[in-house]
Amino acid sequence: METQKHAQLIRLSIVDDHKMVVESLSKLINESGIAQITSVYYDLKSCRREMAKNLPDILLLDIGLPDGDGVEFCGEITKAYPGLKIIMLTTYKEFSIAKRALHNGALGYILKNAESEEMLIGIETVHRGERFLCEEIDLLLKEKKNQGVVWLGNREREVLGYIAEGYTSKEIANLIFRDEETIRTYRRNLLIKLVARNTAEAVKKGYEMRLIW
């Protein structure tokens, strides 16, 4: 792939709590000749605190973060910095989440398993002020078959069911032979997918959508 050589490199920041993802992305972007990583944050709190000191052109923003929902943060940060361009970088393929991210001001939506070429094209496209969706999400939004549908994996449904029955994360971990951190990750994912502010609301929506009985 031949990318456009910029007289001035595009400045990017990353917000992602997975260090291997950050390292891989940083290597790809810094060696691309079109952009450079100027700052990395592993949670939303540090991004809020430091962003004004080192404002990038583009923010690569994860959705499932330890201290909050990246989609909600996208809306918050674009209001605070109107010139900042956001690319959601995520594993979430759900129609409802992608649509909400775009509604909240994201210009790009790229899955973490996207090809390197697609990632770099996305960065250049968003830098020009144009929307970019990776191929898989673009097709999903065009089909619009999944509008209003929330998809949960079997394990997510199981965890949601245990939460509804009042089990703690530690108890659920023992029941399904996982560690507590994994259960906390499931809990965060459930809040994001169900667009719920807390566990009680997630359970309520789970019943309404017949995801649990």
Average pLDDT across each block of 10 residues of the chain; the chain has 213 residues. List them in order: 59 95 95 95 94 94 92 93 94 86 93 91 94 86 63 84 93 90 88 86 87 78
Q: At the topology level of CATH, where does 154-208 sit?
A: Arc Repressor Mutant, subunit A (1.10.10)
Which is nearest to 161 in space by CA: 208, 120, 213, 87?
Answer: 213
- Fold topology of 10-143: Rossmann fold (3.40.50)
Q: What is the pLDDT of residue 29?
A: 96
- The domain spans of the chain are 10-143, 154-208
Global pTM? 0.72
What integer pLDDT is reported at residue 3 of this predicted model? 42
Reading the block at residue 193, the tokens are: 């997918």
Q: What is the pairing mode between strands 35-41 and 58-61?
A: unpaired
Burial class (CB in 10 A: 0-12, 13-18, 19+), 34: middle
Among 127, 151, 15, smallest CA distance to 77 is for 15
